[in-house]
Amino acid sequence: MNIIFKTITVLLLLLFIIINIVKSSSPQTPTLFKNEEIIDNSNDVKVILIMTFKRMNDFSKCLDSIISANHSSEYHLVLTQSVSMNDYKDYNLLEEILNEKIKQNSNNKEKKLFKSITHIDTESSSKQPYGNAYFAFKNLVYGMKYTVGKLFPNLQSLIIFEEDVEISKDVFEFFESSKSIMKTDKSIKFATTAFFLHTTHPQYNWLLDKPIKRKSIRNENSLSLLIPNQLNKVTLNGEIEFKVLSWLIDRSIIDQLILDFNIIENWVIENNFEDKIENKPNTSKPELLINNCDCWNHDRYLELRFKGLKFIGSQSPRCNHIPVGGFGLSSVLDDYGFPVNQQYIKSDSFVMGTEFNGEKGIWGIVKEFLPKFECPSKINCYNNVTNQYCGTLKVSTCLNVWGPLQCVPCSGRQTSTLDPQCNLDFSSCCDKDNCSAHNPFFISMPSLH
């Protein structure tokens, strides 16, 4: 009896040990890219942080675009990934993607992809398929905290990408140029590769802006309206201007955000609020959020929390959402309308353009005057001797926000290139080639030029 009992005990013990060995040899969190110690404590170290979640197809393309951008190998890479409900599927997928890129690059003896790669997970209890604003905010701040707290203690500024962006080849030239401007102008604390002045609505509601945005200029020609080597200094004024798709943040703001988020997170924990986050005005929120944006979005929070501070904006967009497989705003058609600038500019060739000091955003102005405004699909022909209206050409027009506000041919062509068409279509009224083409909508008001 005693022997049987002992045998069973030993067998159970063995079983327990075996189970634990199997368990520990397939840990839930792979530690392949998990650096735990200081990697570089110099203050000119260059680091990229990517906020990731579940859009792994987009992430793969995003990484390709970063790798093919010039100078990317001078950077350390940190990936912060929100892991919801303990489901590590996408976390593991991300490491597979990383390993694949490293393998593809293994023939390149001179150049490693990045100086180092670190991948961390941040806990989320969001059951929504694409998470919520609080956990996205948390993922960002935890990523920053880990980056400066553990890996790069003397880091002076950090470049941050979302997982679903494509960037221009010269994006790091832009960031280098911005950094050197920030060294001498201490009022500038951020830089962004895309900015847009577009709404006065207190909550970020992209649905509200869609009708106008959809009609704004967005094609290859439209880029010619922008100036690739021009930077603008812009004051954060609480409108939606500052795109957090691909941006740079100063260390002092990182430290402040970490402190702020501590307060926000404590409130959430104390109030047992993780499952109750409601991203609407006048719902329960920590004081700090109510006083700034009455929302949980980190981008809105940044704009209002740091109102009055300045950022450098790239006038030509150097980033965009990956056009396929995205979610929500990820469709280029719903985006701010311009393709990524691919005219390569070196860091020492940028020049400062106009400075914007918190004027009302263009979309805000337009909407006040014309709430349902959309550019019509027409160009009008007038006899420019008699001023007679001769007829209309069917041409789709888009709002040019970079000149005096007017609807211009979406093709980006000058309106006057349609003069011959007017004269051809309305020859009798135009009286031997005296017609000129006119934009259907024009208002003269302060604009970006």
Ligand X SMILES: *[C@@H]1O[C@H](CO)[C@@H](O)[C@H](O)[C@H]1NC(C)=O
DSSP annotation of 91 reads: H
Among 26, 107, 184, 282, binds ligand X (CB under 6 A): 282
For ligand X, which is the closer residue by CB, 230 or 384?
384
In the numeric block, which tokens belong to residue 244? 């957090």
Measure the CA–CA gap between 53 and 162, rounded to whole angstroms: 9
92 belongs to the binding site for ligand X (CB under 6 A):
no
CB nearer to ligand X: pick between 57 and 347: 347
Shortest CB 113 distance to ligand X, Å: 16
> Which of the ranges 137-145, 244-252, 350-358, 425-433 carries the binding residues for ligand X, by CB under 6 A?
425-433
Cβ-based burial of 11 (10 A; exposed 0-12, middle 13-18, buried ≥19): exposed
Name which of 55 and 285 has its Cβ closer to ligand X. Answer: 285
Q: Which is nearer to ligand X, 102 or 385 (CB)?
A: 385
Nearer to ligand X, 169 or 233 (CB): 169
Q: Bridge-partner residues for 436, per DSSP? A: 382
265 sits in which H/E element: helix 251-270
Q: Does 308 bind ligand X (CB under 6 A)?
A: no
| Helical spans, DSSP H, in 50-149 | 56-68, 89-104, 133-146
Beta bridge partners of 118: 78
Nearest Cα residue to 54 out of 168, 162, 142: 162
- Per-residue binding string, ligand X, 262-281, x by CB under 6 A, is -------------------x
Q: Which long-range contacts (CB under 8 A, 24 or more apart) does 284-288 make?
A: 288/260, 288/263, 288/264
Strand pairing class (117-124; 76-84): parallel
User: Judged by CB, which is closer to ligand X: 175, or 196?
Assistant: 175
Minimal distance in Å, beta carbon 431 to ligand X?
5
CA distance 436 to 40: 64
Q: Where are the alpha helices (DSSP H) in 271-418?
A: 287-292, 298-305, 362-369
Contacts with ligand X, 370-409, as mask; x by CB under 6 A:
--------------xx------------------------
| Of residues 97 and 208, the one with the C-beta less far from ligand X | 208
**Which of 158, 165, 435, 448: binder of ligand X (CB under 6 A)?**
435
Q: How far is CA 161 from CA 65, 140, 142, 148, 213, in A?
A: 11, 10, 15, 17, 23
Angle, CA 362 vertex, CA 356 and CA 364 arms, to 5°: 115
* Residue 432 contacts ligand X per CB under 6 A: yes
425 near ligand X, rule: CB under 6 A: no
| Residue 436 found at the interface with ligand X (CB under 6 A) | yes
String of contacts with ligand X for each residue 327-356, x by CB under 6 A: -----------------x------------
CA 366 from chain center: how many Å?
24
Count of residues of this chain found to bind ligand X when the rule CB under 6 A is applied: 15
Please report where in the chains the tokens 């020609």 appear, as a residue.
221
Binding status of residue 419 toward ligand X by CB under 6 A:
yes
Among 221, 256, 396, 434, the residue binding ligand X under the rule CB under 6 A is 434
| Binding window for ligand X (CB under 6 A); candidates: 37-45, 102-110, 225-233, 430-438 | 430-438
70 is a site residue for ligand X (CB under 6 A): yes
- Rounded to a whole number of angstroms, the minimum distance from the CB of residue 42 to ligand X is 20
At residue 148, the 3 state secondary structure works out as: helix
Contact residues: ligand X, CB under 6 A: 70-71, 281-282, 344, 384-385, 419, 423, 431-436
